[in-house]
Structure 1
Amino acid sequence: MSVFKRNGKGNYYIQFNYRGKVYIKSSRSTNKATAARMEREWRTEIHAREELGELPDITLEKAMEACISSKPNPETRRYYKQHTAAIRSHFDVSCCLSEVRDWSLSKFKAERLKEGVSEATIKHDLNVLKAAFRWAEENGFNCPQLRWPTAKPSKSRLRYLSLTEEVRLLKELDPTRPIKGRPPYERRSYEERESMQDNYDLVVLLLDTGARYGEIANIQWDSIDMNSSQIRLWRPKVRNESVLFMTDRVKAVLSRRYDQRNSKYVFANRSGGPRGHQTAGIRNAFKRAGLAGFRVHDLRHTCASRLIQNGMSLYEVSKILGHTSVQTTQRYAHIEMVDVSRKARDIMNTL
């Protein structure tokens, strides 16, 4: 019998011999009819592969999970999980890879753009999706040959906040601000007030540290030294660590949060884990503040631009931003040139 229970109890097992090789696995079901159906499907799959040269199918969900599990580095796995969340929200991940078509990839890109996501983020999403297909192909599963849409980071003009725009933005993020259709601050739920305060505090830290969103959103308290006013910032993208000193308002924010902490994370989700990629509330504040086309990553540009405008060199700013090469910081060179040009004018005027 190819379908049986071990010791007459528990789940049914499937076992049969095909061309001298024994195949056996659990059906994970106590229903004999279900186990028998699975046995027939398994036999058909093996016959198609061995006799007809057909490759087995695998679902998108299983391919992504296997691809993530194959990554030895925890930070890499976290990066993949972050982007698979976006993929799951736009794809039926229970479908087989062989069912994915070119048009579904183009649709995914269009929907992400409509959400206001940057081309750079979409590029990462597609790279993670592509990696799942590559893993499946390397492990002998049926994969279609697809034309992957391109996603190129914009070469548009560098965007950063003026001081006036920052005031406007922080006003729109103020947790105590009156909101049309919502009760006064004191009567709002604890969860709503906490969420709004998190958005405000996170933006302040991003403005004053120049850190990437994920570096601050997922930071733990053991990286914060309140006595010395230092933040030991681990940067997963470039795999290095920076030590940043807190500005007065960053210290005020972290001191308040430290006294109220109930998780090892500075910005925790409802279950006490890391906040993760939750930017909808911040992006809505950009719109209310009239900051058309402004992105969360532009807060990092704002910090860098202000440092250069107030006398720091590109090399020094590269260290603050955690760039592995000063060449990456060259995008701010035109800002430094404004100060250089001003100095040149003053020198010429004295001659």
Structure 2
Amino acid sequence: MPFRPKGSRFWHYDFQIRGRRVHGSCGTEDFAEAKGVEAEARVKAKQSLTDAPPGIFTLAEAIGTYYADIAAHQPSGRTTLSQGKALLSILDPKKRLPDLTMAEVQRYVSMRRATVANATVNRELQLLGRALRHMQRIHKASLPDLDLRSVEVAEAEERIRELTQDEQTRLLKHLRDDLHPLVKAALMTGLRLSELCSLQWSAVDLDAARIRFVQKGGKTRHFPISGEMRAFLSALPRADTLPHARHVLTYINQKAKGQPRHKISQGGGIMEVFRAAVSDAGIEDFRFHDLRHTFATRLLRQTGNLKLVSRLLGHTQIETTMRYAHVLDDDLRTALDGYSLNGQVPKKSPKRRASH
């Protein structure tokens, strides 16, 4: 377990592998990241022993190494940490990868389904698969013969909840002023909470009018900056101290002396404040992610261009965006009103003149 020596701001690791001591700095102030660094150090230490079985790693080492190598540098890093913790809460962290069985994975699925949604279980299984493949590809790990897709569970169709204009007004009325930019940015861009919280000024190019994002797999995409968004970004208040000043979206830390501006974290108290504002505004069945749904439905209704919306949402497949296609029903109904089996367009009844 990482520890912080007296006088150091960084976490350190200190452990033994077959009698050999391995110690050093994790190079980070974040405890979760430090655990990933320590796990990677254990993997490398084990690989360096000539008498160690080649390619034999534990489940904890696999997930920790995947986080340190890949996920720690992604906006969804905290989500990966949470998913990894869930996996290791049921699966044995010390289980050697070649010994992991489908029966153990199936037991994990059964236990998790009792407490979380099927979609959550599937995302965690997908993380397990990515971690195993990464260990095999990069660290030459020996893997068990597992078919993780076969134990994924059916997911309910994701509901689409759109914020009405009246609800939007009420939400902002009951939400703290310093959190208005977070909500408005979500409504203007459709970005996920993790993307908004990790957005830094270095990724914002006002001259080229675009924002750069690094997606899963290291792919880069750009989001165009509209005139309204340019004015919004230019007016944002900034934090005075690092690392908070690097972040685009900040809030007033009311618990800190002097109430400085801090970067917004994905979890914790800020989301509690948001949920309280939703409740106070009398808005039912609404989550922060529904702001992304609202952006998508409003843009699709305005443009009628499903492919455009798909690109702006960062979807890799148009099928993912099809969930929003219902907003085009009114346009389809209008088109059918102009169609007749007899080839004649039905005439609309003339409006009656008001009698005087």
Common fold by TM > 0.5: yes
Structure 2 counterpart of 1:17: none
CA deviation vs aligned residue, 1:84-132 (integer Å, no higher than 9, x gap): 234326744984236967544433344344xxxxx54543223213444
CA deviation vs aligned residue, 1:286-339 (integer Å, no higher than 9, x gap): 455454443333212211211222244223323332334544433322212312
Of residues 306, 313, 326 in structure 2, which corresponds to 1:334? 326
CA–CA separation in structure 1 for the residues paired with 2:154 and 2:15: 51
Structure 1 counterpart of 2:162: 160
For the pair 1:61 / 2:51, whether they are aligned, the reply is no
Structure 2 counterpart of 1:184: none
CA deviation vs aligned residue, 1:3-39 (integer Å, no higher than 9, x gap): xxxxxxxx9999xxxxxxxxx761459xxxxxxxxxx
The worse-fitting range, judged by mean Cα deviation, of 296-305 and 142-151 is 142-151
For the pair 1:85 / 2:93, whether they are aligned, the reply is no
1:141 is displaced (CA, Å) by: 7.7
For the pair 1:264 / 2:246, whether they are aligned, the reply is yes
Distance of aligned partners of 1:240 and 1:134 in 2 relative to their CA distance in 1, 3 Å threshold: closer
- For the residue of structure 2 that corresponds to 1:97, the secondary structure is coil
CA–CA separation in structure 2 for the residues paired with 1:327 and 1:337: 17
Is the CA contact (8 Å cut-off) linking 1:90 and 1:108 kept in structure 2?
no
**TM-score, normalised via structure 2 length:** 0.59
CA–CA separation in structure 1 for the residues paired with 2:287 and 2:156: 12
Of residues 175, 179, 186 in structure 2, which corresponds to 1:206? 186
CA–CA separation in structure 2 for the residues paired with 1:243 and 1:147: 33
Structure 1 counterpart of 2:20: 26
* 2:182 maps to amino acid: L
Distance of aligned partners of 1:133 and 1:13 in 2 relative to their CA distance in 1, 3 Å threshold: closer
**TM-score, normalised via structure 1 length:** 0.60
For the pair 1:317 / 2:321, whether they are aligned, the reply is no
CA deviation vs aligned residue, 1:125-150 (integer Å, no higher than 9, x gap): 23213444566787248999999853
- Greater C-alpha Rg: 1
1:227 is displaced (CA, Å) by: 6.6
- For the residue of structure 1 that corresponds to 2:115, the secondary structure is helix
Distance of aligned partners of 1:82 and 1:341 in 2 relative to their CA distance in 1, 3 Å threshold: same
The worse-fitting range, judged by mean Cα deviation, of 302-311 and 149-158 is 149-158
Distance of aligned partners of 1:57 and 1:313 in 2 relative to their CA distance in 1, 3 Å threshold: closer
Is the CA contact (8 Å cut-off) linking 1:240 and 1:322 kept in structure 2?
no
TM alignment of 1:1-351, pairs within 5 A? 26-27=20-21, 58=58, 60-69=59-68, 71=70, 79=76, 82-88=79-85, 91-92=88-89, 95-97=93-95, 102-113=106-117, 119-132=118-131, 139-140=141-142, 150-172=152-174, 174-175=175-176, 197-198=178-179, 200-225=180-205, 230-237=209-216, 239-246=219-226, 248=228, 251-252=231-232, 255-258=235-238, 262-267=244-249, 275-276=265-266, 280-281=271-272, 282-345=274-337, 348-349=346-347
CA–CA separation in structure 1 for the residues paired with 2:126 and 2:83: 12
CA–CA separation in structure 2 for the residues paired with 1:146 and 1:167: 45
- For the residue of structure 2 that corresponds to 1:206, the secondary structure is helix
Structure 1 counterpart of 2:27: none
CA–CA separation in structure 2 for the residues paired with 1:12 and 1:107: 32
1:255 is displaced (CA, Å) by: 1.5
* 2:200 maps to amino acid: Q
Distance of aligned partners of 1:312 and 1:108 in 2 relative to their CA distance in 1, 3 Å threshold: same
* 1:251 maps to amino acid: A
CA–CA separation in structure 2 for the residues paired with 1:327 and 1:145: 25
1:235 is displaced (CA, Å) by: 5.0
CA deviation vs aligned residue, 1:233-268 (integer Å, no higher than 9, x gap): 425148342332346477346523248675212136
CA–CA separation in structure 1 for the residues paired with 2:186 and 2:155: 21
